């Protein structure tokens, strides 16, 4: 292992902080959605975080984002804090962000070669999105008192925009890993 690829805990902290900041920044790009759930770029950045940083650092960035929101910082769409969203219809999606970053990173970081990396980035990204949807459905059922069919129906308007966003995140993650091949070596 070269000196430049040696594990550096401070670098990991910096990656986590930068990606937590990216998650927050992209909360401010929203389009009104369905059932009080806006179309945001934030969910795609959470997936990108897992794809680029892997399961441990990606999850740490998502947790840091949530902790800042719990402290009252405006980390969500519309400049809301997490406290204001806990009782709302988006709570399941927000909780799903942490699991999503982990799942996307865990799958992506299984790549053993450049040729398998792209496929695993795709699988990881869409698995991360599926986790967000599943958690969102549960949240809608619990908080908005929807039945399963109604909660699943809320997802429909998001399918195409989210697929496009996730495809872009895969392309970005692939480019990052091509430019920084040692990134996956530091799990």
Mean pLDDT across 20-27: 94
How high does pLDDT run on average in the chain?
A: 90
165: pLDDT strictly greater than 70: yes
The tokens for 42 are 């934030």
Residue 143 — φ and ψ, nearest 5°? -90, -40
Helix (H) or strand (E) holding 23, with range, is helix 9-25
Domain 9-184 has CATH 3.20.20.70: no
What does the pLDDT look like over 45-100, one tens digit per residue? 999 999 999 999 999 999 999 999 999 999 988 788 888 888 888 899 999 999 99
Task: Find the range with the poorest average confidence among 41-50, 133-142, 175-184.
Answer: 175-184
């Amino acid at each position: 292992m070269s000196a430049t690829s040696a594990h550096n805990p401070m670098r990991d902290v910096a990656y986590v902080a930068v990606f937590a900041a990216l998650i927050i920044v992209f909360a401010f790009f929203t389009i009104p959605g369905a059932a009080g759930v806006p179309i945001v770029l934030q969910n795609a950045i959470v997936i990108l975080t897992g794809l680029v940083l892997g399961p441990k650092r990606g999850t740490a960035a998502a947790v840091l984002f949530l902790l800042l929101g719990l402290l009252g910082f405006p980390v969500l769409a519309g400049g809301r804090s997490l406290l204001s969203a806990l009782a709302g219809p988006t709570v399941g999606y927000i909780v799903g962000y942490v699991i999503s970053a982990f799942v996307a990173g865990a799958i992506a970081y299984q790549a053993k070669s450049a040729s398998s990396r792209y496929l695993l980035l795709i699988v990881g990204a869409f698995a991360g999105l599926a986790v967000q949807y599943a958690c969102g459905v549960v949240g809608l059922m619990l908080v908005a008192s929807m039945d399963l069919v109604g909660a699943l129906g809320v997802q429909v308007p998001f399918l195409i925009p989210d697929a496009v966003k996730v495809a872009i995140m895969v392309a970005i993650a692939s480019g990052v890993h091509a430019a920084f091949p040692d990134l996956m070596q530091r799990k």
